[in-house]
Amino acid sequence: MQSNKLPTIKEIAKKLNVSVSTVSRALHDHPSIGQVTTMRVHKIAKELGYEVNKSAIYFKERKTYTIGVIIPSLAEPFFSSALSGVEDFAGQFNYNVIIGQSLDSVEREMRIVENMKDHRVDGILVSLTKETSTYEHFENLKRYNIPIVFFDRVPQKKDIHFVSCNLYSGMLQAIKELVELGHKKIGLINGPAKMAATLQRLEIYFKCLKQNDLSIDYDIITSTTLSKDDNIRAIERLINLEERPTAVIVFNDYVLLDCITSVKTAGLQVNKDISFISFANLPIWEYMDTKPLASIEQFAYKQASKATDFLFKLIETNNKGGEPNPAYFQEVIDSELVNY
């Protein structure tokens, strides 16, 4: 009858008539153990079905070889692309990735942070919810020496590690292109008031209008909470104006999908009666009959990959017992207009 009990190092040592410490070093390919002995140990370990006790290794090395990633939603192609960037980079170091979806709920975001802390992840990557305005749940991680790097949706703080996208470059290209096409009344559908990216987009929009000698018309500026009903309300408000905008910059592609439906329902033609440029550059446009004139690429994969690079540098500093870096890892990647 075959035993269900897992073999131990002691059994390997007994079978080879060597010490337990020799087997342990050989299993880790320690240079102090000869090649022949190392090969014999690995051979017997394989025959017996021995598995390394990773928990013991983690305890000894004081790390779990696991990082956490908190994103708003895996359903969004932007964040699934970002996750690919994280996993591809982490995989090079044989790290596991734990994923938490905040679903744009601050309470859920807090619970995920607490759970990841309890599991002693070696570090955390975060893209904030649209409602996050306080950061105590992240600050608390310092007590446990768990580094954190933000990406895409980042706090309006200076003392953080982050990777974000410079939306100005893409917005300027967008408005310049619309002006060249003859548009002078360019509206904006912005995002939720509490989201840092909303204020950022508004400021950039104002600046780009000014650079193109266009006046600011507050009647053609509106916002949405990003819900479907609110997206529809926002676009209907603009298309029902007596003097509606001839073109609109939209907060992101997801909002624009709802806008397109409403424009068609109103009997208007997209990019003829009213033109659109949005943010995110979703892969879905490749398969759509109705598309915006262009979308602004924010490089999700690149942002997340670079953020993971920063996180591993911080983890390495922790492992060496060094002092926290007095400077913060921070990088801003230029956005880029992609025409369809």
Q: For 242-297, how does the pLDDT look when each residue is reduced to its tens digit (9 = 90+)?
A: 999 999 999 999 999 999 999 999 999 999 999 999 999 988 898 899 999 999 99
Q: What is the mean pLDDT of residues 197-213?
A: 93
Cα atoms in the Cβ-side hemisphere of radius 13 Å centred on 222:
22
pLDDT above 70 (res 83) = yes
Contact between residue 126 and residue 138 where contact means Cβ atoms under 8 Å apart: yes
CB proximity list for 171: less than 8 A, separation 6 or greater: 201, 204, 205, 208, 249, 296, 335
pTM of the predicted structure, to 2 decimals:
0.80
Of 308, 306, 238, nearest to 274 by C-alpha is 238
Residue 185 confidence (pLDDT) above 90: yes
* Three-state DSSP class for residue 66: strand
> Exposed, middle or buried: residue 1 (CB in 10 Å: 0-12, 13-18, 19+)?
exposed
pLDDT of residue 257: 95
DSSP state, 241?
Answer: S
The answer to which of 58-72, 163-177, 202-216, 224-238 has the lowest mean pLDDT is 58-72
pLDDT at 211: 95
pLDDT band at residue 127 using 50, 70 and 90 as cut-offs: very high
* Residue, of 53 and 133, whose pLDDT is higher: 133
Q: What are the residues whose beta carbons fall under 8 Å from the beta carbon of 68, sequence distance 6 or more?
A: 97, 98, 99, 100, 112, 116, 119, 121, 123, 124, 125
Q: Domains along the chain?
A: 9-52 (no CATH), 65-165+300-334 (3.40.50.2300), 167-297 (3.40.50.2300)
State the pLDDT at residue 324.
61
How far apart CA 138 and CA 160 sit, in angstroms, is 10
pLDDT surpasses 70 at 55: no
C-alpha neighbours within 13 Å on the C-beta side of residue 181: 19
Strands of the sheet containing 148-151, edge to edge, are: 96-101, 66-71, 123-126, 148-151, 161-166, 330-334
pLDDT at residue 3 tops 60: no
Quick one: tokens of 267? 């009997």
Confidence of residue 36 (pLDDT cuts 50, 70, 90): confident
Q: Which residue, chain included where needed, has tokens 């926002």?
A: 234
Return the structure tokens found at 202: 């508004």
210-247: per-residue pLDDT in tens? Answer: 999 999 999 999 999 999 999 999 999 999 999 999 99
Alpha-carbon gap, residue 115 to 17, rounded angstroms = 45
pLDDT of residue 59: 53
Helix (H) or strand (E) holding 69: strand 66-71
What confidence category does residue 1 fall into, taking pLDDT thresholds of 50, 70 and 90? very low
Q: Is the pLDDT of residue 326 over 80?
A: no
Give me the mean pLDDT over the 161-175 stretch: 95
What does the alpha-carbon distance between residue 108 and residue 72 come to, in Å, rounded to a whole number? 10
Give me the mean pLDDT over the 27-38 stretch: 86
